[in-house]
Structure 1
């Protein structure tokens, strides 16, 4: 403990000392739009993809669908609108970190984030980072990380947006966002309400999705205030309250429902000097669920976790070539649940990062991290990354890292089935990337290798219930390709984007592909814009996946491959300095394809959605 106290004291003293030496200096801000800008600065050797506003404004799409059609990530979804979990480079859902304004929001119960509980309208910036990130983002950032950021704009403005949509299966959405800014104060606020009967037809049957209705309310509030020319205080808050009936399968009728409540609040104090930036984050996160086996009954099981966090980040520019960064992070988790008792966990980490840019062509980053987690001995983590630009058309990127994941409360304590003897997962990986650009075309090519030790996997036990075990070794390797082409011909604008991934993820002993990992996945999107009219077409191909570890094929052992497509059209009725009004129509699953990405859980048939989007 003396070591931990010394690190905390050293960090606080360094902030105080730098603050004293810089307090009388003159500060010039490069930008008045503040967000998690350090993400891209400290990832020179990693592939990062920022989703464009035009993608996020596609109102009829869930966040799951946005990523499914615009990235290399594969998603399992237990029927439309139900639990959606990602597989990033052949890893599982708990090995993908979701970062909200610089802190991890993965569940402490199952280690995952349900992407159907995230509303894209609540965020100004979404960035996908491929590759291991445990050094900066902690447990779970093994396959990759997804960053949800809220920006605060301190320029003078006052804007509003209203979105309304109605679609098949009585799906209704309504959202409102407002954004205000002045030289000292900035604020944005938003909410969205969604409700759907979700009673789509099961193709080639006479059945419908009887127990799939859902509704949810999202709310977010973000505030920023310049205390002085050198100091900014920011508040971030998000609330999610949702209720879902849980769809059954082709063979089983369900009468259950699930209630979710997630609350996130964070205060951030930023001090900016000529050579340093200091951030202190204080946060409280709460996740709560209630599960009703019979939705008409009063009996339910429940689980709740409160997370209390304090984090200090110090960026110091030694020169215009060398920058240093330290991160001190303390988390306290307390849980209570009908199936796992009342566990408590303390976690502290210390991270050191150095980035060196000797010239405009090259950059290198070195990172180390040590965690101290109650009940576990965490390994020393490292990461090295770099990039080199040979010319204006070609850039190479390289990164290597050691990452980890601590078992969750469910893994350890769930009754029946929890395994308190689990070991933390560790991962080693290397990633080589190429970026080639010429005129209006950009090509990204990445190859990677990931070796996992003590992978945690739930399997049926001899006692008849599921239980997690450590698998000695698994590995993943593959290739990712991304292509973007943008071309304007007079008033006609064209944009093409495409992604392809080849993934092998297998148990090194059995040489069998892990379940729910497609070897091939590809998507493409074509957008066209002429004056006030815009049109898009997007297509997804998903290779077959195995649903059992034996890698047998057939209706009970695997899911066949599928092709699905969406299309849409928008027209701008009003366009001037003060008002912007658009109407749109989307057609999803254009060719009415029968498909599912979880066994015996069909996805929707062809469906429609109309939208109105008004900015003023």
Structure 2
């Protein structure tokens, strides 16, 4: 078989339409066109909509039980932030259809203010990725992806769930496509009184009740794609999200507060695709609004509006069947307006140029090298680089290595918050290296990924002699550890069994104090077992979280103790269109926290129904 034919099969096997068969191009439109290239060199954990139904409470719960991430949640449904490989929430990039959507104000994503439903897949990628996905992609990135199929006709799905604590979750999706046109729309509404009790957890002299814990959110997703010519496609994807979170109080006489958030994301793309050349031109507008209420019965106490205008061009070309070049240019303008935040109208321009070359030496060995320069207004940005190689040594063993320099530039709050904003801040930078060792024997697969990161100029908010807090470049952090994944599946007659587990060891040390970073558990393990017999399905999920320090001096009395949680569910598929299911969360009735002083719910239940038509 010649090299060109091998490459065509290789790219097709990963679902990539950049250098595959023409038929693959006509089948599906992928908004994040880089993701399939990333999968050629990096393991990416994919969470499907069917997986999401197991942990449908919110995106925090989904990522907690189905990825290696540590999720800090200030009580169920409240403020939530992620941590990859011992890094901070600002060092995790949220990427929506190829566009970085971390908040311009906070420099991070609030997990519970991002919709959990409405995506065709959620990808979780560990390791640095700033050359492709920009600021914040240091510890890893979370990809919220949509696709549009052609020639699929009409399909629809309705999911409805009722759960403990007066929780209701409804999701509906419809799609239609022919050979030229594809359309998809979905909507999700979640509401919960969230008034759970944890009698064993005592605050003062009172057993804990999640008083004033109510939340709700609504999201709408719309996607359209049209083939204007044989190799040209125009597409549009949009998401609207509206949410409200009431913050729990510890005393009945406490002041009830809440936080409202609204986001709008809209992306239009013009794609040109042929066998050896492609170009994707994107224009996006994203808007983030929030309002904080110090008293839920009074007008807002503070708030802000952020607007981002983004233009991105991704050019990909195979010079020869073995050599591929990829040039990416991006320009964006970030605007912000604060209310009672100490700053008024602020704005900055950001541009970047990146180049990647990929060499496919044989069907079993390939590598890529990338370089990127960002131009951030009033900020001196470093030159970024990356190198990855993948070798299929033998049929049962594949290995890869990744080396990169990544960064995060200061957020609006870091620079402009008054009092405290610091215009002299430098970007956080990190050098990352990791390896992947993949062993496959029939239906059994093991992936071992040791990693090392050296980060400097971490931005920390510290008290000042003037009585307020301010951000400074202070910390240097060394992080190293091991991520491992195990999968096994077997079909026998009408029976099907699938096992999926992961274990993560994370050592993340402040180099000045030699202490473990806060909210970085040394050990985390998750496991999922799925069993199906004919029309019946059963799953069991387990999560172990090790000792987690909450103070920078490793104070044991303030640390979060290790805990183990077990979830289980059963469902029945009727007439291939209807599914009825029942779930038990925290089956072990464990008392646990992910953030100090904010206990999570004990055993709780839900029933749900799904209709496919």
Considering the TM-score relative to the shorter chain, is it more than 0.5?
A: yes
State yes or no: 1:189 paired with 2:192.
no
Q: Identify which of 590, 594, 603 aligns with 2:591.
A: 594
State yes or no: 1:536 paired with 2:539.
yes
Assess, with a 3 A threshold, how the Cα gap between structure 1 residues 367 and 295 changes in structure 2: closer, same or farther.
Answer: same
The corresponding residue for 2:42 is 46
TM-score of the superposed pair, with normalisation by structure 2: 0.93
Q: Partners of 2:250 and 2:462 in 1: how far apart?
A: 20
State yes or no: 1:279 paired with 2:280.
yes
Cα deviation digits, residues 63-102 of structure 1 (max 9, x gap): 2111111111101001100111000000011101111111
SS in 2 for 1:119: coil
SS in 1 for 2:361: coil
Q: CA deviation at 1:466?
A: 3.1
**8 Å contact kept, 1:246–1:254:** no
Q: Identify which of 188, 195, 200 aligns with 2:196.
A: 200
State yes or no: 1:149 paired with 2:145.
yes
State yes or no: 1:76 paired with 2:92.
no
State yes or no: 1:98 paired with 2:94.
yes
Q: Partners of 1:485 and 1:142 in 2: how far apart?
A: 30
State yes or no: 1:60 paired with 2:56.
yes
The corresponding residue for 1:302 is 303
The corresponding residue for 2:229 is 228
**8 Å contact kept, 1:134–1:141:** yes
The corresponding residue for 2:361 is 358
Q: Identify which of 403, 423, 427 aligns with 1:424.
A: 427
Matches within 5 A, 1:156-555: 156-204=152-200, 205=202, 206-249=207-250, 253-338=254-339, 339=341, 340-554=343-557
Q: CA deviation at 1:119?
A: 2.9
SS in 2 for 1:334: strand
Assess, with a 3 A threshold, how the Cα gap between structure 1 residues 455 and 541 changes in structure 2: closer, same or farther.
Answer: same
Q: Partners of 2:334 and 2:49 in 1: how far apart?
A: 35
Cα deviation digits, residues 198-232 of structure 1 (max 9, x gap): 00002315341111101111001000000111110
**8 Å contact kept, 1:251–1:600:** no
Q: Partners of 1:77 and 1:332 in 2: how far apart?
A: 31
Assess, with a 3 A threshold, how the Cα gap between structure 1 residues 563 and 27 changes in structure 2: closer, same or farther.
Answer: closer
Q: Partners of 2:40 and 2:171 in 1: how far apart?
A: 36
Q: Partners of 1:364 and 1:450 in 2: how far apart?
A: 21
Q: Partners of 1:429 and 1:299 in 2: how far apart?
A: 42
Cα deviation digits, residues 362-401 of structure 1 (max 9, x gap): 1100100011110111111100001101111100010000
More off after superposition, 288-297 vs 26-35 = 26-35
The corresponding residue for 2:129 is 133
SS in 2 for 1:411: helix
Assess, with a 3 A threshold, how the Cα gap between structure 1 residues 43 and 571 changes in structure 2: closer, same or farther.
Answer: closer
Q: Partners of 2:64 and 2:314 in 1: how far apart?
A: 33
Q: Partners of 2:532 and 2:455 in 1: how far apart?
A: 45
SS in 2 for 1:58: helix
**8 Å contact kept, 2:115–2:241:** no
**8 Å contact kept, 1:59–1:611:** no
Aligned-residue RMSD, C-alpha? 1.6
**8 Å contact kept, 1:310–1:329:** yes
The corresponding residue for 1:124 is 120
Q: CA deviation at 1:31?
A: 4.4
**8 Å contact kept, 1:44–1:386:** no
Q: Partners of 2:503 and 2:255 in 1: how far apart?
A: 36
Q: CA deviation at 1:146?
A: 1.1
Q: CA deviation at 1:27?
A: 6.3
Cα deviation digits, residues 440-494 of structure 1 (max 9, x gap): 1110100010000101122333444432221241110000010001012221111
In structure 1, stretches of 5+ residues that fail to align are 1-25
Assess, with a 3 A threshold, how the Cα gap between structure 1 residues 66 and 605 changes in structure 2: closer, same or farther.
Answer: same
**8 Å contact kept, 1:33–1:152:** yes
TM-score of the superposed pair, with normalisation by structure 1: 0.92
Cα deviation digits, residues 277-318 of structure 1 (max 9, x gap): 111101110000000000001242111110001111101111
Cα deviation digits, residues 104-141 of structure 1 (max 9, x gap): 01111101112222333310021111110000111110
**8 Å contact kept, 2:48–2:120:** no
Q: CA deviation at 1:509?
A: 1.8
Assess, with a 3 A threshold, how the Cα gap between structure 1 residues 29 and 561 changes in structure 2: closer, same or farther.
Answer: closer
Cα deviation digits, residues 519-567 of structure 1 (max 9, x gap): 000111111100110011101111121111111110xx21111111111
The corresponding residue for 2:8 is none
**8 Å contact kept, 1:543–1:560:** yes
SS in 2 for 1:212: coil
Q: Partners of 1:384 and 1:59 in 2: how far apart?
A: 35
Q: Partners of 2:152 and 2:73 in 1: how far apart?
A: 42
SS in 1 for 2:413: helix
Cα deviation digits, residues 398-447 of structure 1 (max 9, x gap): 00000110000011112233222211111101001101110111101000
SS in 2 for 1:179: strand
**8 Å contact kept, 2:211–2:250:** no
Q: CA deviation at 1:273?
A: 2.7
Q: Partners of 1:52 and 1:150 in 2: how far apart?
A: 11
State yes or no: 1:110 paired with 2:106.
yes
**8 Å contact kept, 2:129–2:137:** yes
Q: CA deviation at 1:37?
A: 4.3
Cα deviation digits, residues 122-181 of structure 1 (max 9, x gap): 100211111100001111100011111110001131011111111111001111100111
SS in 2 for 1:597: strand
**8 Å contact kept, 2:521–2:545:** yes
Aligned length: 585
**8 Å contact kept, 1:247–1:254:** no
